[in-house]
Amino acid sequence: MSDLARITLIRGGEQALVDRAIASTVAGIRQSRADVDRESVDASTDDAVHEFRNVCAPTLFGSDVIVVVTGLQSADDAFADALTEVLADQPENVWLVLHHDATAGGKKLLEAVRGAGANEVECLAVKKGKAAIEVISQEFARRKRRATSEAINVLYESVGHDLPMLFAAVGQLVADVDDDPVTDVHVHAYFAGVADVAGWQIADHVWNRRPAQALESVRHAAATGNASGVGVMSVLAMMSAVRNIIRVGGLGPGASEADVARELGVPPWKVSSLRQQWSRWSGDQRRLAASLVELADAEALMKGGLEPGQALDVEQKLFELEKLVVSTGGR
């Protein structure tokens, strides 16, 4: 191991990335030190100094140890002094993995760690959209698998901006799908039983004017997942999608994808899909306007019923949803 690799500074507050960086660093050390122990110290606790000095102290047999220190931004002066001492004269058998959440606290200690030659890994908050999609792509690559851009986009739209869930979803897809690359078909099939995910798939079929596929997706979602949630989530997804389709039409074809994405608050890859959907409806705007009224009525049916106090049961909601997607998506 090089001297630089014996101190690793992980900086940032994106916890999923922090956990990944700590695990990756520990695994890297253990590749050359298979029997190395791992000790964890929370620098924000009252007994952190005692724990830290204890795990860094020489042992009778000189066994190797990885000391993972979290909460560096909350360390008090006593802990800062103890860490600075170890940085100045680091025992040969000790590897330090230090986490600072990139907030204002502990700046002096942070600079001391950097001054000691730490290898720095950034785990700053991942912004929605393009940055998150890049993280998903990197996760597939880390697992030595490929995925199409459509698959990554659908996965992000389906799961949302939740990195632990996205990492778990990638892990499940890689484990369950033998084909390479992973495609959007695999993503849709894998998440077919999740009501909100199925809702977005149904909405895409409706606004692409594919009523048969929309109906098929409704029945598949009801048969394989939480049937009680399909109606509400599908109507909400359709309403959200049609608002963006109309807004895209209002911006005109001359606007760049980046400008449209900023205006609508959607990732740039979504703009092309929305424009294609607008092209299917721009010559039938009276029907598009009528669909807004139908969606408003459908939302009331899915959330309530025909009359106050008379809620529809699951089968009735699914029947109403089937009628809606066929009538709306048809020409």
Q: Are residues 72 and 182 in the same domain?
A: no
Q: Which pLDDT belongs to residue 2?
A: 44
- Per-residue model confidence as pLDDT tens digits over 91-142: 888 999 999 999 988 888 999 999 999 999 999 999 888 888 999 999 999 9
Residue written as token pair 């700046």:
107
| Chosen domain end from 166, 190, 214 | 190
Q: Are residues 88 and 158 in the same domain?
A: no
Q: How far is Cα 37 from Cα 35, in angstroms, rounded to an integer? A: 6
Q: Are residues 214 and 286 in the same domain?
A: yes
| Chosen domain end from 122, 148, 169 | 122
37 by DSSP, 3-state: which? strand
Q: Are residues 111 and 12 in the same domain?
A: yes
Domain with 144 in it: what CATH number?
Answer: 1.10.8
- Structure tokens of 251? 């911006």
How many domains are there within the chain?
3
Which domain covers residue 306, as residue numbers? 195-329
- Structure tokens of 51? 């724990």
Q: Are strands 310-311 and 305-307 parallel, antiparallel or unpaired?
A: antiparallel
- Structure tokens of 330? 């048809």
| Chosen domain end from 122, 140, 159 | 122
Q: Are strands 37-42 and 94-100 parallel, antiparallel or unpaired?
A: unpaired
Residue written as token pair 């360390």:
75
Domain with 239 in it: what CATH number?
Answer: 1.20.272.10
- Per-residue model confidence as pLDDT tens digits over 216-273: 888 887 877 667 777 888 888 888 889 889 999 888 778 888 888 888 877 677 788 8
Sign of CA dihedral 87, 88, 91, 93: positive
Query: Taking the CB of residue 182, how many other CB atoms lie within 10 A of it?
Result: 23
